[in-house]
Amino acid sequence: MTSSSGAEEIWIRRFHHGLPGGNRLVCFPHAGGSASYYYPFSQALAPRTEVLAVQYPGRQDRRREPLVDSIPRLADHIADALERQGADSAAYFGHSMGAVLAYEVAQRLRERAAQGPARLFVSGRRAPSRRRPGGPGRVHLRDDDGLVAELRKVGGTDPSFLNDRELLAEILPVTRNDYKAIETYVWADRPPLDCPITALVGDHDPQTTSDEAAAWAEHTTGAFDLRVFPGGHFYLDARRDDVTDVVTAALDPTPAVNTLEGNTA
């Protein structure tokens, strides 16, 4: 069940409650994605880790709200919401566009209060300091057929949706908006974060090489870890258990105690 009580939670969705005093993980969706993408992660991590999923405007229960096509403006809004929720010091997990948003939110919160996330997980995205030759991406400038072709290429969207004209009418404006946001994003050189960063990437991701993911090490003075999985841009759909294992081990390395049998699990 999604929990949302009050206007201050318009940006945050909670699917499962965690243990009192337990870990909290704020999850940032990819371009065209929504908070519900992280429902399976929430289910797998609860109750030891409570997942708070960010809901961008223009999709699902926020579908009537204007879209935001700027990473900095999105980051400003999300940082405000996390401060209101007392989740600014939680761990963050972002995939693709969500990785950049998680990083930008972390920078804003650190600048405001001299603190940031407990740990940053960045998935399927090259480090902000790495730009590819040829200038900004142009996917958001393609016609509808070109945008659909890109979605088929990277995966992550149910193919049946891409064959349904009515669903495409809902999907494409949101996806185009998000591609514009990430493709026009320009990294502003800032001091590195001090939280640990874990970078995750598929070994056949057309959008991020292992070397580009490894460059996230430059964005922290803390510990850095690189995890490479079999798969493409949406490797985590097939490797969800492996990814949640990485998150669990990083956030809570002590095995849980089975209080009924007195054994570790």
Tell me the C-alpha distance between 141 and 176, whole Å: 8
Closest CA to 256 of 92, 22, 91: 22
| 232 within 8 A of 202, measured Cβ to Cβ | yes
Q: Is 45 in contact with 248 (CB distance < 8 Å)? A: yes
Decide: residue 108, CB within 10 A, 0-12 exposed, 13-18 middle, 19+ buried.
buried
Torsion from C-alpha of 9, 14, 20, 24, nearest 10 degrees: -90
Helical residues (DSSP H) of the chain, grouped into ranges: 39-45, 71-85, 97-113, 144-154, 159-162, 165-183, 210-214, 235-238, 240-251
138 — alpha (psi -120 to 50), left (phi > 0) or beta?
alpha
Q: Annotated active-site positions, please? A: 96
Omega of the bond leading into 47 within 30 degrees of 0 (cis): yes
**Exposed/middle/buried for residue 78 (C-beta within 10 Å: 0-12, 13-18, 19+):** buried
